[in-house]
Amino acid sequence: MLRKRLIALLTVTALAATTAACGGLDDSSDGNTGSSSPDKVKVGVIPIVDVAPIYLGKAKGFFEKQNIDLTLEQAQGGAAIVPAVVSGQYQFGFSNVVSLLLGASKNVPIKVVANGNNATADPQKDFSGLLVKDPAITRPKDLEGKTVAANTLKNIVATSVNEIVRKDGGDPTKVKYVEVAFPDQAASLEANRVQAVFLVEPFVSSVKSKNWKQLGSFAAVSPSLMVADYFTSSQLLGEKPDLAKRFTSALKESLAYADAHPDEVRQIVTTYTTIKADAVAAMTLPKYNPEIDKASLDLMNSLLVKDGLLTAPVDTAKLIQQ
């Protein structure tokens, strides 16, 4: 009897060793949630309030729940993040919709997997603002012949300002733009190097005491304007569709949680930016919609054609991961 038990034990041990050597029943090159070790994922982000949900989602364990070991790496802007995602340096990235549309128009192999952030629906109380200090400039049309500071050229700021001017009956081709980083725009306006600035939080709230006039915002372009998205490479989607699905699921949960817990958003912002707690308390937060706003993307697509940045609209169905 003892001999039979010993043989049975050795047989079970041998089978277990063989199973482990073969990777086990749960092992998958696609990194599903049954894998013993989590998928290591790097995401390129920008140190602004827009990306608070992904930081909050990591802290809450939403990505860990999807068997993802998330690392967030800060970059200067979307222009640097797009090629880093395509090359595989990052598995996912965050960028404004204009950069993504322009990339898609040049057949850059990228796919949008989740929403990033949206306007607040209130043109006068948005997380962004088109501001002037000259009392003679009273409406967007007055920006004809004037110079506006934009954080980057031929991007979502200029596209939005052009539409704000166009809606007011002005000619956006008569508006000039100069590239000025967000932190330096207020000083440029004070020194009269520009006649208008387009700021986002925390820079909007930081200049409220100056009583500059606000002529518009992202919300003036469209109440729920989708400003940015999270995206990945077509290659990753082809090779690891399950990973993309799990990442998107965790991100949607993060966006919904952030939108419902603004106090936690404000707290998490102080952990990955240099923004102080008192400044964060005064900020107007973006909306964090879990779903991609297709209508908003179509609008921006058409505005790029109007501005001459695209000769024809991008097929957004090919840009968005279905």
Are residues 173 and 230 part of one domain? Answer: no
Q: What are the backbone dihedrals phi and psi of residue 204, each rounded to the nearest 5 degrees, phi first?
A: -65, -50
pLDDT in tens, 253-282: 999 999 999 999 999 999 998 888 888 898
Are residues 104 and 47 part of one domain? Answer: yes
Are residues 234 and 115 part of one domain? Answer: yes
Residue after which a domain boundary falls, among 196, 221, 246 = 221
The CATH number of residue 176's host domain is 3.40.190.10
Q: Which residues pair with 45 in a beta bridge?
A: 74
Residue 1 falls inside a structural domain: no
Residue after which a domain boundary falls, among 221, 240, 262 = 221
Burial of 162 per CB tally in 10 Å (0-12, 13-18, 19+)? buried
Going by C-alpha positions, the residue among 32, 41, 73, 51 that lies closest to residue 24 is 32
Are residues 205 and 139 part of one domain? Answer: yes
> Residue 112: enclosing H or E segment and its boundaries?
strand 110-118
- State the residue range of the domain holding 233: 39-119+226-319
Query: One-letter amino acid identity for 134?
Result: D
Whether the predicted pLDDT of 28 surpasses 70:
no
Residue 79 falls inside a structural domain: yes
Considering its fold, how many domains does the chain have in total? Answer: 2
What predicted TM-score, i.e. pTM, was given to this entire model? 0.83
Q: 246 vs 19, which has greater pLDDT? A: 246
Burial of 30 per CB tally in 10 Å (0-12, 13-18, 19+)? middle
Are residues 200 and 230 part of one domain? Answer: no
pLDDT in tens, 108-159: 999 999 999 999 999 889 999 999 999 999 999 999 999 999 988 888 999 9
Residue 138 falls inside a structural domain: yes
Using left for φ > 0, alpha for ψ between -120 and 50, and beta otherwise, residue 244 falls in alpha
Contact in structure between 85 and 110 (CB atoms under 8 Å): yes
Are residues 149 and 176 part of one domain? Answer: yes
Q: What was the pLDDT predicted at 318? A: 85
Calculate the alpha carbon distances from 188 to 181, 182, 185, 313 in Å: 10, 10, 5, 35
Using left for φ > 0, alpha for ψ between -120 and 50, and beta otherwise, residue 107 falls in left
